Chain A
């Protein structure tokens, strides 16, 4: 049995049937990583011995019993590093588990391996990682997307059965699309953020990367729910997210936002998404046109709100309680200024500066407050659209994976890569990216992602709609050519 090629569900079934032990699964994964990760660079670290000790106590009767799951290096796991892709956290070791890790363990899963990311989740390509970019398993000269690019790349390259990532403006859905796998951003407040190192607290949400839609539902079942340690986690009933899987989509309405089919979408992406829409029609779904008139403002609003929140959140990196500390400071201001200069990379510095500026005296109303008001309009757009449809259908990313280095030094162009994903974070709704085809570029096949956006807390329906497409197509069965 080619263990690393299994999906999470397949591995769990094999473990439940005692065909495979968790330790065998870990060993197989470790060998796969040793064989391919020098090329993909999806992992920053892994601790096989610690994972095997955890495997010995994992409850195999639980829904994720004995299954290893890779963790983005922004989520605290006891005894492991949590660099956030930054030099400033290089000396840090976690001495507690994030709530999602406690819940994964309670469901029988074993955290194994820490995945690469843009520094503090700021970026769309992993090129902002202080430890070097990850590479797309479909074409090693291209980005896997970001910020959770490592998590996407390792699942696509069969170096993980599934992974956790975080999504602030598309950081789960965009890399999932570019790597040809499933990525789910739950509704804001569905999953506790306790133990997730904060980037933009009103936008951040943890979610899974998986090879199938069902696997995402299983992980969401394990990690969701109210948490007293996160006051923004919602106290709402948590359904079984697998409960609607397998049902058809006859009579369901899918909304096509007219503002999303703009000039500048790659023609192959446009064609694949339009074919997917036709496919849904053939499955019995009804396509309705909806309008999200404030779409053009989403990127601007996002880069004010996200940078404002990041400048406040990253103030905690002061060289006193954890992380890097500049040596031989001449005083407190010198200590802060140099600790942060030495510890942060260029994109983090840019965003801290922008965020500080938009919050500074005299500019707050013009930038931050105005952005929060436009955010209300964007959220209202979705509320109105969802009166006409059960989910919204659109591309995840306007183009397939771009070349590494192509836009590393053009922040504005990089920011526009998130144009279709950002609004869901501003509105707090749930979204998923699933594979829907390939673009042929330079003789390589590059995955294309289809994005479905759902009503708040309607993940079960979203997963049903995604599953119906996946189970009637073959895209998710394609594996990348890497090694």
Chain B
């Protein structure tokens, strides 16, 4: 079960308690699963890498746990240091790659198209 799904069900049952009181004190990095995450990232790993990354990244996650102690109530998140909004350009055609240029670096192409492995049986 995903952690967030767990929270939602708690929310339903114990609605009168603040959610924060239900968060397990246990380090969340205990849930960290390299094998599963690598699948999400479309990245194959060897068994040796899985074991190594599990330990190394577990250590990094323990280190970032201390961010949980910071009071961020009422603080807006920063996505970019200088938020620039609604950057528009005029809707006019301009020079860009030709199909030939776009395909120049393709590992496989034919008839002006990228070749990909078969997706549908």
Query: B42 contacts A336, CB within 8 Å?
Result: yes
Known contacts A189-B84, A366-B28, A456-B82; A332 and B117 CB within 8 A of each other? yes
Residue of A nearest to B98 (CB): A95
Q: How many residues of B contact A (CB 8 A)?
A: 53
Query: B75 contacts A373, CB within 8 Å?
Result: yes
B26 interface hit (Cβ, 8 Å): no
B residues in contact with A412, CB < 8 Å: 56, 59-60, 63
Chain B, residues 82-107, CB within 8 Å of chain A (1/0): the string is: 10100101000000010001101111
Among candidates B32, B57, B67, B80, residue contacting A300 with C-beta atoms closer than 8 Å: B67
Query: In the complex, which of the residues B2, B40, B67, B80 has the most CB atoms of chain A within 10 Å of its own CB atom?
Result: B67
A297 interface hit (Cβ, 8 Å): yes
Instruction: Provide the bound-state CA to CA distance between A349 and B44, in Å.
Output: 9
Query: A426 contacts B117, CB within 8 Å?
Result: no
B13 interface hit (Cβ, 8 Å): no
Query: B44 contacts A337, CB within 8 Å?
Result: yes
CB distance from A1 to the nearest CB of B (A): 42
Chain B, residues 44-57, CB within 8 Å of chain A (1/0): the string is: 11000100010011
Instruction: Provide the bound-state CA to CA distance between A335 and B84, in Å.
Output: 38
A472 interface hit (Cβ, 8 Å): no
Query: B41 contacts A356, CB within 8 Å?
Result: yes
A140 interface hit (Cβ, 8 Å): no
Which A residues, 313 to 363, have Cβ-Cβ distances below 8 Å to chain B? 315, 318-325, 329, 331-338, 340-341, 344, 346, 349-350, 352-354, 356-357, 360-363
Query: B43 contacts A373, CB within 8 Å?
Result: no
Helix, strand, loop or mixed for chain B's interface?
Answer: loop
A residues in contact with B72, CB < 8 Å: 370, 373-374, 377
Query: A331 contacts B117, CB within 8 Å?
Result: yes
Which B residues, 1 to 60, have Cβ-Cβ distances below 8 Å to chain A? 2-5, 28, 32, 34, 37-38, 40-45, 49, 53, 56-57, 59-60
Query: B49 contacts A346, CB within 8 Å?
Result: yes
Instruction: Provide the bound-state CA to CA distance between A308 and B16, in Å.
Output: 34
B110 interface hit (Cβ, 8 Å): no
Query: In the complex, which of the residues A304, A332, A361, A373 has the most CB atoms of chain B within 10 Å of its own CB atom?
Result: A373
Query: A357 contacts B53, CB within 8 Å?
Result: no
Known contacts A93-B104, A320-B116, A379-B81; A304 and B64 CB within 8 A of each other? yes
User: What are 10 A-B contacts with C-beta separation under 8 Å?
Assistant: A92-B105, A202-B81, A301-B67, A318-B42, A349-B45, A354-B57, A366-B68, A373-B78, A376-B76, A376-B77
Query: Told that A315-B42, A362-B2 touch, could you supply 19 new A-B pairs with CB distance under 8 A?
Result: A93-B104, A95-B105, A232-B82, A301-B67, A321-B114, A322-B105, A323-B107, A335-B116, A344-B43, A353-B37, A356-B37, A356-B40, A361-B2, A375-B78, A376-B76, A377-B72, A412-B59, A415-B60, A427-B81
Q: Which residues of A contact B (CB under 8 A)?
A: 91-93, 95-96, 188-189, 202, 228, 231-232, 234, 294, 296-297, 299-301, 303-304, 311, 315, 318-325, 329, 331-338, 340-341, 344, 346, 349-350, 352-354, 356-357, 360-363, 365-367, 369-377, 379, 411-412, 415, 426-429, 456
